[in-house]
């Protein structure tokens, strides 16, 4: 939320935009309204100009009452703006340096309301926001918004130009065997094949011919690639393994190779086994049986299922999974329906493909309650891996999840001194102390740190707070809403900074009394003080 007392601390970004409006409402106002509404919301401030250094100064409004009336008249004109998302209290009037300014709060439009467009032209008047400002959406982006509007998701479509014999029998058997194994004595266990497929949502009867046809979900899950691309021309599944820098791919598998079905069910299990083959499994016995499943296995299952369930299969470039020695990258077409920050927080589930989610849930894969992604982040934190990253891209719409496989730095104490040791697989580690750099050897059980001659001396290093640091800190404060709690990863995503750097920024904000912490260590949350 905008705070007038912090006027001189603000800067334009993907959530704040200033405009002069000295001679009336600027035309660009409505482009920005559309872009904020179709993105993550934002604040437009009229009567303010940006200085060369990025700071603001109030230039004022000639007649705020007249301007306000004009604003409401235009925003309620469907020929100019497709939908008014604002209430009366979404506009505030302030005085700054003797000048009147107007602050307009633009909420994020709901999935069923997007696209918000201007000038009566959906395909030429729809805008989005990025760090470079407002940009006009492509036709593909607009179509993606339209596909996301209905409560009935795209995978529920009954494909009446296909017969059910396009579904692969071996894949159906494999799915059903797994279902029976994991849900013994399930009520659907004894059903005939067609009735069973109806129950799970893979086929349905049409009103026109009263015959059974595959649903889009059924085709994606059990069909063969050459049939799937008839409905989804951009459909492509790609697994790339890059473990040797001298070779382009150490392993690759894609859906149009012709040597396997190319459907989602087979892709999921083939890729899952490739992703987890190097995951270390500690020796565990339960009820006399060895347990070969860890929380990392479960997190990878969740990440892979989340990708498949939330993909826009009409979107471009397809699903791409990349595995290297230090990370796993999972990419899929489509933006995040709940928004990135809500996805990280969890609690709200809005899958792009409800039937696919149902099918995976029946075989104990995927999380319905909206906690799947937070659980992945928690597992990675518990395992001491670097924090996962989620990126939303546009042109085309794309969601990218990166799961680092490298360990976070570990801080230990030795003779009342803190020493940071970079974790990983290398035998020699660089250790940074107060006044020197040294190399030490890592053993399986302990770290040996030699004593320094200056054990009893305190060294104070003063650093000036740079303008860049101030900008980062202000961006964090602008992002935090009073009363809400935030995780460290959210600020890492916001600033595109590493966890260690953001921790320093948060420590400074805590010491200044602007932010408080809740919980400790891995459960730590941050809250802005009123």
Tens digit of pLDDT for each residue in 1-14? 788 888 888 888 88
Cα(377)–Cα(399) distance, integer angstroms: 16
Instruction: List the pLDDT tens digit at each of the 530 positions of the chain.
Output: 788 888 888 888 888 999 998 888 999 999 999 999 999 899 999 999 999 888 999 999 989 999 999 999 999 999 999 999 999 999 999 999 999 999 999 999 999 999 999 999 999 999 998 876 899 999 999 999 999 999 899 999 999 999 999 999 999 999 999 999 888 888 898 899 999 999 999 999 988 888 999 999 999 999 999 999 999 999 999 999 988 878 888 899 999 999 999 999 999 999 999 999 888 766 555 555 545 678 899 999 999 999 999 999 999 999 999 999 899 999 999 988 888 888 888 777 889 999 999 999 999 998 665 678 888 999 999 999 999 999 888 878 899 999 999 887 655 555 555 555 455 443 333 333 333 333 333 333 333 334 444 444 443 333 445 667 887 888 788 777 777 778 787 777 667 677 788 889 999 999 999 999 988 766 688 888 87
pLDDT at position 286: 54
Which among 347, 336, 328, 330 has a CA at the least distance from the CA of 312? 336
Cα(368)–Cα(354) distance, integer angstroms: 10
Instruction: Pull the structure tokens for residue 350.
Output: 């809005």
Tens digit of pLDDT for each residue in 340-378? 888 888 777 889 999 999 999 999 998 665 678 888 999
Instruction: Pull the structure tokens for residue 149.
Output: 């509007």
DSSP 41: -
Which among 327, 229, 321 has a CA at the least distance from the CA of 278? 327
First to last CA, the chain: 12
Token look-up 């891209």 returns 393
CB 196 within 8 A of CB 179: no
Give the 3-state secondary structure of residue 316.
coil
Half-sphere exposure of 281 (CA within 13 A, CB side): 13
- For residue 289, with 0-12 CB atoms within 10 Å meaning exposed, 13-18 middle and 19 or more buried, which class applies? exposed
Half-sphere exposure of 354 (CA within 13 A, CB side): 10
CB 402 within 8 A of CB 373: no
Residues written for the chain: 530
Cα(163)–Cα(213) distance, integer angstroms: 5
Cα(350)–Cα(336) distance, integer angstroms: 9
Can you list the domains of the chain with their CATH numbers? 4-139 (3.30.950.30), 234-404 (3.30.565.60), 467-528 (1.10.10.10)
Q: What is the pTM of this model?
A: 0.72
Tens digit of pLDDT for each residue in 248-285? 888 999 999 999 999 999 999 999 999 998 887 665 55
CA torsion through residues 48, 49, 54, 56, sign: negative
Instruction: Pull the structure tokens for residue 504.
Output: 């320093």
pLDDT at position 478: 74
Cβ neighbours, 10 Å, residue 498: 12
pLDDT at position 428: 34
Cβ neighbours, 10 Å, residue 300: 21
Instruction: Pull the structure tokens for residue 248.
Output: 């382009």
């Amino acid at each position: 939320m905008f705070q007038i007392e912090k006027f001189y601390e603000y800067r334009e970004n993907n959530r704040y935009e200033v405009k002069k409006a000295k001679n009336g409402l600027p035309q660009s106002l409505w482009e920005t309204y559309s872009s904020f509404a179709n993105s993550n919301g934002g604040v437009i401030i009229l009567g303010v100009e940006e200085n060369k250094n990025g700071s603001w100064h109030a230039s004022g409004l000639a007649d705020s009452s007249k301007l306000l009336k004009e604003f409401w008249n235009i925003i309620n004109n469907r020929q100019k703006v497709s939908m008014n998302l604002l209430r009366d209290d979404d506009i505030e009037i302030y005085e700054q340096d003797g000048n009147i300014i107007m602050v307009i709060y633009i909420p994020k439009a709901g999935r069923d309301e997007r696209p918000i467009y201007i000038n009566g032209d959906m395909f030429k008047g729809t805008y989005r926001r990025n760090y470079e400002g407002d940009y006009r959406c492509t036709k593909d982006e607009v179509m993606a918004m339209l596909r996301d509007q209905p409560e009935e998701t795209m995978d529920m479509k009954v494909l009446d130009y296909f017969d059910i014999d396009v579904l692969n029998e071996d894949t159906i058997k494999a799915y059903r065997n797994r279902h029976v194994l994991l849900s013994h004595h399930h009520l659907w266990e004894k059903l005939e094949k067609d009735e069973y497929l109806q129950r799970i949502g893979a086929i349905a009867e049409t009103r026109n011919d009263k015959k059974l046809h595959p649903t889009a979900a059924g085709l994606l899950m059990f069909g063969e690639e050459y049939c799937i691309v008839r409905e989804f021309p951009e459909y492509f599944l790609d697994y790339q393994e890059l473990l040797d820098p001298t070779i382009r791919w150490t392993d690759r598998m894609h859906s149009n190779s012709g040597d396997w079905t190319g459907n989602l069910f087979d892709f999921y299990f083939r890729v899952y086994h490739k992703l987890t083959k190097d995951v270390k499994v500690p020796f565990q016995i339960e009820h006399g049986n060895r347990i070969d499943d860890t929380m990392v296995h479960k997190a990878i299952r969740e990440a892979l299922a989340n990708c498949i369930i939330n993909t826009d299969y009409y979107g471009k470039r397809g699903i791409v999974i990349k595995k290297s020695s230090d990370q796993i990258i999972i990419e899929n077409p489509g933006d995040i329906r709940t928004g990135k920050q809500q996805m990280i927080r969890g609690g709200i589930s809005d899958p792009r493909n409800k039937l696919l989610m149902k099918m995976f849930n029946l075989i104990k894969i995927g999380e319905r309650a909206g906690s799947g992604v937070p659980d992945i982040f928690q597992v990675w934190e518990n395992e001491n891996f670097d924090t996962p990253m989620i990126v939303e891209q546009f042109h085309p719409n794309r969601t990218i999840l990166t799961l680092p496989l490298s360990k976070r730095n570990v801080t230990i104490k030795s003779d009342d001194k803190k020493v940071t040791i970079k974790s990983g697989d290398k035998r020699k580690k660089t250790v940074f102390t107060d006044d020197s750099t040294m190399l030490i050897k890592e053993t399986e059980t302990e770290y040996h740190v030699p004593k320094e001659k200056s054990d009893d001396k305190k060294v104070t290093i003063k650093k000036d707070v740079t303008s860049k640091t101030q900008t980062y800190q202000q961006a964090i404060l602008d992002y935090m809403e009073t009363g809400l709690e935030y995780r460290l990863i959210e600020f890492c995503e916001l600033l595109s900074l590493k966890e260690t750097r953001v921790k320093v920024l948060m420590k400074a904000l805590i010491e200044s009394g602007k932010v408080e912490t809740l919980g400790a260590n891995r459960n730590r949350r941050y809250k802005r003080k009123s």
